[in-house]
Amino acid sequence: MSISDTISDVSEAPVAVWSQIDANSAKVSLSGIVNVYSLGGVWTQIRDAQDAWLKQGDIKAKTLTVDSATVGSLDGAGIAFLIAIEEAQINAGAKYELSGLDPRYQPLLKEFDPISNLFPVPAVKPKRSFVVSTGMAVQNLIDDTVGLITFTGHLFSDLVWSVRNPKQVRWGDFINAAVEAGIAALPIVGLVAFLIGVILSFQAAIGMQQFGAVSFVGPLAALGIVREMGPLITAILLAGRSSAAFAAEIGTMTVNSEVDALVSGGLSPIRFLVVPRVLAGILVAPILTLFADIVSIFSSMLTMLIYGIPFVNFYNGMLSAVDVEDILSGLLKATLFGVVVSAMGCLRGMQTGTGAAAVGISATRAVVSSIVMIVIVDGIFAFISYKTGF
């Protein structure tokens, strides 16, 4: 058979034909090229006929003969077909005979002896009760929290070590990570910040216009941007871009046993892989935030022009509302976000299981955990700001 016929064989004459001789004997005649393609459909027909025949009368007296004298060639699927017919006969308690099979196929048939191994009893999966499921979920949560605390401890001690031994920090990795997470993120941060500035100002202006207070939109938007929106947009973008990237990168290293190689070589994977990335996060998050603040305020200024507020008025209004302290507060928060986002990315990367799918799961978990942590840190920070006035 040439390659071009391989798949089209299905449409040719059936390779197996069922014929019932009398009530207790039947025959399956095989002919031609019996392969994985030509058996499609035929297999089901023969087995259906066999099952219907086995259901009638006295099973023990029934004999099925498979005549394979005119078989042109038989492949692995053909052998599996013979096994399927035999198993159905034997299982029902009836008799089975195979005649005319080319002796060269015998060793292959013998390979599968005893054929009952090929028909395993499907295992029933035990159902988990609600209590067990809940318990396991709680246990997972506890394990995850313990993992987070342990990781934070290791990270903190290795960061302190890095401060004391700055020469041994992997600055090359740090620069790569900083460029990837920082400079490469400028366009997207700029775009999102610009649009957020426009949207914020428009929304505020629509409301304020009713009270004739459009001139207060500038100070309000600027304050909101430097204290909250700037750090938040930057952090969320970092979570989506860099946290996922860190998780995927370290996750792939974990899958390839590269992390194991570091450990067995006596190196701390946290010092080697996590510290440079967290330092990069600490550096780029406030810088990106400052950039986002500037772009956002500028876009807000442009928007307010439509409402007849000139740049100068906007600027003066902003100066009266925004202090250096507000900007610093926003940048400090951004720095914390930077630590959280990069550390979560690295942690999820280190927790990667095995296989390609595990890397994808880690990247997803990194983004989700980063965003959750951003919200938590933001909440704590808001509370501290309220209490201390910073």
Partner 1 sequence: MDAQITPNNSPYAIDVQNLTVGYGSKVLMQNLNFTVNNGEIFVILGGSGCGKSSLLKNLFGLYQPLAGNVLIEGQNITTAIGAERQKIMTSFGVMYQQGALFGSMNLLDNVTLFMQEYTQLTQAQMDLLARCKLDLVGLLPYETYMPSEISGGMQKRAAIARAMALDPKILFLDEPSAGLDPITSADLDSTIQDLSKNLGITFVIVSHELASIYAIADKVIMLDKEAKGIIAEGDPKVLRDTSKDPRVHQFFNRIMSKDAA
Q: Residues in the site for partner 1, rule: CB under 8 A? A: 1-4, 6-7, 10, 35-37, 39-41, 43-44, 72-77, 79-80, 83-84, 104-105, 107-108, 111-112, 117-120, 353-358
Name the 3-class secondary structure at 204. helix
Using the minimum distance from each CB to partner 1, give the nearer residue, 37 or 151.
37
Which distant-in-sequence residues (6+ apart) come within 8 Å of 307 by Cβ? 205, 209, 214, 217
Q: Which is nearer to partner 1, 229 or 259 (CB)?
A: 259
Quickly tell me which residue has 């599968």 as its tokens: 112
Cα separation, 364 vs 253, whole angstroms = 17
Angstrom distances, CA of residue 353 to CA of 143, 237, 243, 251: 15, 26, 18, 8
User: In angstroms, what is the minimal distance from the CB of 81 to partner 1?
Assistant: 8
Sign of the alpha-carbon torsion through 110, 112, 114, 116:
negative
To partner 1, the closest distance from the beta carbon of 32 in angstroms equals: 10
Instruction: Choose between 77 and 208: whose C-beta lies nearer to partner 1.
Output: 77
Closest approach, Cβ 219 to partner 1, in A, equals 54
Q: How far apart are CA 20 and CA 65, in angstroms?
A: 10
Nearer to partner 1, 74 or 181 (CB): 74
> In angstroms, rounded to a whole number, what is the distance separating the alpha carbons of residues 186 and 290?
11
In the bound complex, what is the minimum distance in angstroms from residue 70's beta carbon to partner 1? Answer: 11
If the CB atoms of residues 107 and 265 are measured against partner 1, the closer one turns out to be 107
Contact 45, 6 (CB under 8 A): no
| Cα(82)–Cα(108) distance, integer angstroms | 12
Cβ-based neighbours of 93, under 8 Å, separated by 6 or more: 59, 60
How many whole angstroms separate alpha carbon 262 and alpha carbon 272?
8
Would you say 77 or 332 has its CB closer to partner 1?
77
Shortest approach of partner 1 to residue 53 CB, angstroms? 19
Minimum CB separation of residue 127 from partner 1 in Å reads 18
